Amino acid sequence: MHGISPISIVVCNLYPFTSTISKPECTLEAAVEEIDIGGVTLLRAAAKNHARVSVLSDPADYKEFLEAWTKGQGDVGQNTRSKLALKAFEMTSQYDEAISAYFREQYASAELNEEKLAGPVQRIALRYGANPHQKPAQAFVTEGKLPFKGNASPH
């Protein structure tokens, strides 16, 4: 009708949120700047339409995709599109989890609750037993408050 060719490939790399927040000097403002909104939406839209669209969310897949594209003369096949769609859905899920975990740590911890800056305690750091070199675990709830009390101090 409008002479627009259908989209058959979507390639999108998300902002590096997790690598940004892993830096010790990362500020809240820097973390917020690295939250990709449009990229996540684009990946989900392409993955939703994987019956017709190949979605590339990881540069590690480019070479294999190009080989399949060349071999298939422009069609990588449904199995490849399905595999790429699953990867895109998993990537966006992990990306969203990293964002919510970061903000949970910033806004829902026992330390903030003690300062009366947040509502009920929704997250506490847990000791990691005899392995001080390991990253501490955490307990959290997404609604309400934790059903137990703990020591919020990592020591």
Q: What is the pLDDT of residues 107-129, one digit of tens each?
A: 766 555 555 545 555 555 666 66
Q: Give me the mean pLDDT over the 57-70 stretch.
A: 96
Residue 11 has what pLDDT?
98
Q: Whose CA is closest to 28, among 128, 107, 115?
A: 107
Q: At what angle do helices 62-71 and 78-107 cross, to 10 degrees?
A: 160
Confidence band of 131 (pLDDT split at 50, 70, 90):
low
Domain with CATH 3.40.50.1380 in the chain: 9-107
The 10s digit of each residue's pLDDT in 2-37 is 898 889 999 999 999 999 999 999 999 999 999 999
Q: Residue 99: pLDDT above 50?
A: yes
Class of domain 9-107: alpha beta
Q: Residue 54: pLDDT above 60?
A: yes
Q: Whose CA is closest to 61, among 76, 78, 40, 41?
A: 76
Q: Which of 57-61, 97-101, 105-109 has the highest mean pLDDT?
A: 57-61
Quickly tell me which residue has 């399905």 as its tokens.
82
Alpha carbon separation from 84 to 44, 66, 70, 91 (Å, rounded): 11, 13, 17, 10
The 10s digit of each residue's pLDDT in 76-88 is 999 999 999 999 9
Q: Whose CA is closest to 14, among 88, 65, 106?
A: 88
3-state helix, strand, coil in the chain (%, to 5): 45, 10, 45
Tally of CB atoms within 10 A around 88? 27
Q: Give me the mean pLDDT over the 71-80 stretch.
A: 95
Distance CA 21, CA 19 (A): 6
Q: Are 123 and 140 in contact (CB under 8 A)?
A: yes
